[in-house]
Amino acid sequence: MAIYNLGSVNIDHVYRVPHLPEPGETLAATSFNSGLGGKGANQSIAISRAGAQVFHIGAIGADGIWLADRMADAGVDTRFLSVIDVPTGHAIINVDDEAENVIVLFTGANRALTEDMVSKALGDAGAGDWLLLQNETNLGVYAAKAAKAKGMRVAYAAAPFDAEAAAAMLLVADLLAVNDIEAAQLSKALGVSTTDLPVAQVLITRGAEGATLQTGDEMISVDAFKVDPVDTTGAGDTFLGYFLAAIDLGKPAKDALTFASAASAIQVTKVGASVAIPDADAVVAFLNR
């Protein structure tokens, strides 16, 4: 099987700050770095490093060609990552000394995809393959419907949270992935409890409190591994990428959750998003310890 990820690719500008800035405050950063980011790119790299096959569907501008090279170096198939005449998306990320972050996002090329790009990318996909989606690109519902028509399974991460987009995607998703804040927001918007969300499977990540997977009446939970976090940027993307890869590779749900929890625990102990995502060997070694 394979995973097709219709997801964002961004240039991340990361500023280390003593605290997150208040309104009207000018704050001096203690360090700066720039690199590959975007929820989609992070997820694709996590999937690849977990050992699954992943095709990334997306768009970048000419200023972001180096991002495609880095994704390919990480094992991501980028044949469906188009270069278009729109600037590459980027994110301004402030990270404080407690490893918390605040992110400002410019979507750029991520929201300039065409139906033709998506249709061509899914041309060889088939029953049993996964399509992964989130809210940083356009054409999510279009892609999901095309995937379902081919017998694919659809996973949807409702981030950045948008109640209207989430409500539309739940009609075509098999797996919903949210953090605990997004789960509460979606529950409030739809007027139902998180246990009654209209989707077959609900994956909720809860940071240091672990994660849960609900399938019908069954609830599977795992604890978070205790580590000293340095930067939590991309932790949720790492978790979801590893979880979906593990499921695609045939691991039982409990094992997939544990695998993903370990990967995200390693990831937060390093600075950066995609550069901090571990490979499967490192995760196995972590679990063996």
Tell me which residues are annotated as active site.
237
8 A C-beta contact, residue 266 and residue 239 = no
- What is the DSSP code string of the chain? --EEEE---EEEEEEE-SSPPPTT-----SEEEEEEE-HHHHHHHHHHHHT--EEEEEEE-GGGHHHHHHHHHTT-EEEEEEE-SSPPEEEEEEE-TTS-EEEEEE-GGGG---HHHHHHHTTT--TT-EEEE-TTSS-HHHHHHHHHHTT-EEEEE--S--HHHHHHHTTT-SEEEEEHHHHHHHHHHHTS-GGG-SSSEEEEE-GGG-EEEEETTEEEEEPPP----S--TTHHHHHHHHHHHHHHTT--HHHHHHHHHHHHHHHTTSSSSGGGPPPHHHHHHHHH-
Place of tokens 């918007």: 189
Q: What contacts 246, CB < 8 A, 6 or more positions away? A: 50, 255, 256, 259, 260
